[in-house]
């Protein structure tokens, strides 16, 4: 997974258990008018693992904490504190259990790993894929509504770009919508896999709003999972 590639450059420790076989969730992120924020909306609403006990087997597979130098629920606690507390005004995500369940439901409904497999994009450490071609092929499979596109992001490590995340946006009614639609009031922001941290700006990035930090020639790696 690309998160482990990133960890090589940050010094963090990456661990992937063998029950993780494809893409994973980063989070379900509410936004009001932009793709950033709100965040940390209710400091008194503390994360409680027992509230999501029934979801833990699925979370370990589809929303795992891949950093071995942190405790199991560290990632979930952070996502709840930063984003989940801001989703409580929406009926379907009004509490901790419903928030995590909705993210799992959306993720499994989309099945991005399966979509990539269907279009012939298979993890391969020695092959380069055209990320724009991937975007064009997955768009009609994600939504039959014309004009609605996901966004793909890339990460550069040692002069090589990697496909790192897919961003899919929904309305508060959880209908898929364009992430670049303006205004973007009351959109919910869903991201699969680990999102990029702040990385240095690189030259020759693709001039396409649907591609984030991807190379000008669109060529990226989609590596195999290396279990630790």
Confidence category of residue 190, pLDDT binned at 50, 70, 90: very low
Residue 83 among the catalytic residues: yes
User: Any idea which of 58-67, 117-126, 187-196 has the lowest mean pLDDT?
Assistant: 187-196
Query: 176 with 148: CB under 8 angstroms?
Result: yes
> Measured between alpha carbons, how far is 88 from 183 in angstroms, rounded to an integer?
22
User: Any idea which of 90-94, 95-99, 116-120, 193-197 has the lowest mean pLDDT?
Assistant: 193-197
Q: 12, 53, 79, 159: which is the annotated catalytic residue?
A: 79
Give the global pTM.
0.86
Q: 67, 83, 159, 228: which is the annotated catalytic residue?
A: 83
Q: 12, 26, 216, 218: which is the annotated catalytic residue?
A: 26
Query: What are the Cα distances from residue 92, in Å, to 7, 180, 183?
Result: 34, 24, 23
> Measured between alpha carbons, how far is 29 from 20 in angstroms, rounded to an integer?
22
Residue 26 among the catalytic residues: yes
DSSP 6: H
Residue 216 among the catalytic residues: no
């Amino acid at each position: 997974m690309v998160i482990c590639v990133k960890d090589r450059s940050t010094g963090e420790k990456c661990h992937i258990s063998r029950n993780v076989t494809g893409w994973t969730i980063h989070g379900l992120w509410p936004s009001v008018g932009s793709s950033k924020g709100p965040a940390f909306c209710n400091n008194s609403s503390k994360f409680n693992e027992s509230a999501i006990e029934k979801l833990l087997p699925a979370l370990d597979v589809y929303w795992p904490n891949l950093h071995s130098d942190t405790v199991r629920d560290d990632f979930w606690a952070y996502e709840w504190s930063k984003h989940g507390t801001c989703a409580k005004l929406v009926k379907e995500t009004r509490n901790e259990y419903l928030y995590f369940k909705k993210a799992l439901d959306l993720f499994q409904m989309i099945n991005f790993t399966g979509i990539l497999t269907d279009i012939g994009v298979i993890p391969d450490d020695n092959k380069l894929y055209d990320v724009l071609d991937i975007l064009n092929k997955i768009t009609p499979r994600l939504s039959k509504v014309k004009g609605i596109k996901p966004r793909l992001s890339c990460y550069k490590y040692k002069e090589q770009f990697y496909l790192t995340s897919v961003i899919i946006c929904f309305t508060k009614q959880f209908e898929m919508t364009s992430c670049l639609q303006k205004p973007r009031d009351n959109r919910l922001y869903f991201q699969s896999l680990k999102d990029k941290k702040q990385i240095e700006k690189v030259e020759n990035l693709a001039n396409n709003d649907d591609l984030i930090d991807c190379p000008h020639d669109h060529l990226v790696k989609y590596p195999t999972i290396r279990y630790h």
